[in-house]
Amino acid sequence: MSGIQPGDVAIALFTGAHRGKHRPAVVVSTDAYHAARPDVILSLLTTQVPRVMTAFDYPLQDWAAAGLHQASVFRLYLETTLQAHVTVIGHLSDGDWREVQVRLRLGLAVT
């Protein structure tokens, strides 16, 4: 089993329309997923606060404690990458992780 845990804050390569960019992200895949697969599911963290927040965005309250250098917003924008390509820099606070999970339930077809 890997050392990557749900709620970890990590740096990973996100592919874009023209090229990829290393960005902060939060791990949203489970320990069981990590044990069975070589990849990890991430959702984007951004310092670009959207003009209009949706139900799928959440401004992190404890961003510094999570290892981030700037105030950041969780966005429900998913990406997968190999676990070996992920660098964990911190972990979300319990309150921020609960709020991220709310956005995941709102945006994904899971109960």
This prediction has a pTM of 0.92
Q: List, for residues 2-50, the tens digit of each pLDDT value.
A: 599 999 999 998 776 566 788 999 999 999 999 999 999 999 999 998 8
CA 88 to chain centroid, in Å, comes to 11
Q: List, for residues 39-95, the tens digit of each pLDDT value.
A: 999 999 999 988 899 999 999 999 999 999 999 999 999 999 999 999 999 999 999
Contacts of 93 (CB under 8 A, 6+ apart): 61, 62, 65, 66
Structural class in CATH, domain 8-107 = mainly beta
Residue 67, by phi and psi: left (phi above 0), alpha (psi -120 to 50) or beta? left
Q: Are 45 and 25 in contact (CB under 8 A)?
A: yes
Q: Are 9 and 92 in contact (CB under 8 A)?
A: yes
Q: What is the dihedral of CA 92, 49, 53, 99, to 10 degrees?
A: 0
